[in-house]
Amino acid sequence: MNRDGLLTVTVVSLTHSRNRMIKLVLTNLKSPSLRSLLKPFLNPNISFIHTRLPNKEKPNWNMNHFSAHSNPLLSVLEQCKTLDQLKQIQAQMIITGLILNGFASSRLIAFCAMSESGNLDYCHLILSKTYNTNLFSWNLAMRGYSESKNPEKAIFLYKELLQCGELRPDNYTYPLLLKTCGQLNAISLGYSILGHVLCLGLDSDAYIHMLVFCGELGFARKVFDSCLVRDLVSWNSIINGYVRCGKFKEGLKLFREMRMKEVRPDEVTLISMVSCCSQMEDLILGRVFHQYIEENGLKLTVPLCNSLMDMYVKCGCLESAKILFNKMSKRSIVSWTTMVMGYAKFGLLDSARRVFDEMPEKDVVPWNALIAGYVQSKQGKAALALFYEMQDLNVKPDEVTMVSLLSACTQLGALEVGKWVHHYIEKHKFSINVALGTALVDMYAKCGNIMKARQVFREISGRNSLTWTALIGGLALHGHAHEAISLL
């Protein structure tokens, strides 16, 4: 068969495979709206050839490739430490014309998107004003936004990419977008992106990832089982789906099948497996995976190290978590927070506070961890004092903070402070979920304001067994035994 004949067979095969995949999607998906959305993409006259790139880890913005050091300016750029330095290098690139080179401009974008000294607004400016940008640059910028405090900007950037019409998204683009949809809980948007994936004819990895994100785990498994070739990305997507859904044994079983197929796990796989051990509190299996990482020379990246630390904390082995933490040359806010939570969990509040004070930056999570630690150790006054400190530093609390504060008021019998917290919740328009509603009922009931406890109980939309128990316990505690019994 000549080259043209072989190409024709390949295109027809890919088109048929794609159409079978879409029909399978339409047959199995639960959502009528999603089925309606995808039907227009089932067009037998459209075919695409997609070349998959290898799945390479990009742990930081720097690159050791020969091309990055073949030009003196690019070599200097790889050593860049600040945005001011970058702008000076960019000026020289504009003067020399190097800025017109797609690879060279991508290195500027990589610094702005991924470096600790980068600036995403400036990254966007370079991307929009520079000619000959490549898809790698767009993907880097979207990744930077997806990991920022404003992940929704990754979606806006994707829209710009489609509008420019010069580049076509690939299998690196969509996982970034799906992650962003997950962060934003934007399910409908995720469905639309699945339509784009099907329209572009991308491979099954994107289908599986998207279906897992949409909660269609059963169908994602059918797609996975129907794949003739399963690469590491496919395995990671389906395994992560089971772990996210709390089906840890199924995830571990899939990992064993993956190893039997001689597919070598990577950092993403091991994070999922260690997470299984964390949730099952299986220290022995967690140590087995830790040993596997060390014996097989897998790089102990910050996310993987964080996952191991979390496993050891949840499994009650604080010392092992401490050893890992002390060995880390680079730590993220998650690393620090994990140790704060670990020390607080075991009642070592002085150590928890020391680590907390050493943190180079803090969001609301470590504050919540330490406040909860004080509450857990029956130190309500210290918990309230830490909240006031948090307020002085203009750190915005969340619902988790409020639950801990109400628990502290309950311990202290501090009804007036509890009323102030309730007013704060209403003033700042916090969403009163089941946990927060239960904490309010419990605080009022145990502090003796039964009338207010009944009122809050009636007003909250979500109740569980703990909500009922809080009201019944408060009624019984304050001499309303008959009413308490009537609620049983």
Chosen domain end from 181, 202, 223: 202
When mean pLDDT is compared across 59-63, 200-204, 296-300, the lowest value belongs to 59-63
Which is more confident, 328 or 56?
328
pLDDT band at 467 (very low <50, low <70, confident <90, very high): confident
Nearest to 430 by CA among 458, 387, 401, 409: 401
pLDDT band at 48 (very low <50, low <70, confident <90, very high): very low
Residue % of the chain over a pLDDT of 70: 82
Please answer whether residues 315 and 278 qualify as being in contact, where contact means their C-beta atoms are separated by less than 8 angstroms. Answer: yes
pLDDT number for residue 2:
43
Tell me the mean pLDDT in the region 448-477: 85
Q: Is the pLDDT of residue 462 over 90?
A: no
pLDDT number for residue 142:
93
Please answer whether residues 372 and 356 qualify as being in contact, where contact means their C-beta atoms are separated by less than 8 angstroms. Answer: no
Give me the chain's average pLDDT, please: 82
Which is more confident, 218 or 336?
336
Total structural domains in the chain? Answer: 2
Q: Is the pLDDT of residue 421 over 90?
A: yes
Chosen domain end from 202, 232, 251: 202
pLDDT band at 117 (very low <50, low <70, confident <90, very high): confident
Distance (Å) of CA 125 to CA 107, 110, 121, 128, 163: 14, 13, 6, 5, 16
pLDDT band at 465 (very low <50, low <70, confident <90, very high): confident
Q: Is residue 118 part of a domain?
A: yes
The owner of tokens 């099954």 is: 204
* One-letter-per-residue 3-state SS of 64-132: CCHHHHCCHHHHHHCCCCCHHHHHHHHHHHHHHCHHHCHHHHHHHHHHHHHCCCCCHHHHHHHHHHCCC
pLDDT band at 21 (very low <50, low <70, confident <90, very high): low
Q: Is the pLDDT of residue 34 over 90?
A: no
pLDDT number for residue 202:
63
Chosen domain end from 202, 233, 267: 202
Q: Is 235 helix (H, G, I), strand (E, B) or coil?
A: helix
The pLDDT tens digits of the residues spanning 255-313 come to 999 999 999 999 999 999 999 999 999 999 999 999 999 999 888 899 999 999 999 99
Q: Is the pLDDT of residue 23 over 60?
A: no
- In the chain, % helix, strand, coil (3-state, to 5) comes to 70, 0, 30
pLDDT band at 321 (very low <50, low <70, confident <90, very high): very high
User: CA 155, CA 148: separation in Å to the nearest integer?
Assistant: 13
Tokens of 461: 């939309």
Q: Is residue 160 part of a domain?
A: yes
Contacts by 377-381, CB closer than 8 A, 24 or more apart = 377/344, 377/347, 377/349, 378/411, 379/349, 380/407, 380/408, 380/409, 380/411, 380/412, 380/414, 381/408, 381/412
pLDDT number for residue 20:
54
Q: Which domain holds residue 152?
A: 20-25+80-202
Q: Is the pLDDT of residue 59 over 70?
A: no
pLDDT band at 328 (very low <50, low <70, confident <90, very high): very high
Tell me the mean pLDDT in the region 437-454: 90
The pLDDT tens digits of the residues spanning 62-85 come to 554 545 456 788 888 888 889 999
Distance (Å) of CA 418 to CA 358, 413, 446: 31, 9, 11
pLDDT number for residue 355:
96
Q: Is the pLDDT of residue 41 over 60?
A: no
Q: Is residue 407 part of a domain?
A: yes
Nearest to 169 by CA among 217, 178, 34, 223: 178
Distance (Å) of CA 111 to CA 92, 115, 128, 170, 385: 16, 5, 16, 22, 41
pLDDT number for residue 472:
84
Q: Is the pLDDT of residue 56 over 60?
A: no
Which is more confident, 278 or 214?
278
pLDDT number for residue 54:
32
Tokens of 186: 């934007």
Q: Is residue 157 part of a domain?
A: yes
Q: Is the pLDDT of residue 159 over 50?
A: yes
Q: Is the pLDDT of residue 213 over 60?
A: yes
Encoded amino acid at 100, one letter: L
pLDDT band at 192 (very low <50, low <70, confident <90, very high): confident
User: CA 168, CA 175: separation in Å to the nearest integer?
Assistant: 15
Q: Is the pLDDT of residue 115 over 70?
A: yes
Distance (Å) of CA 375 to CA 172, 337, 465: 44, 17, 22
Q: Is residue 352 part of a domain?
A: no
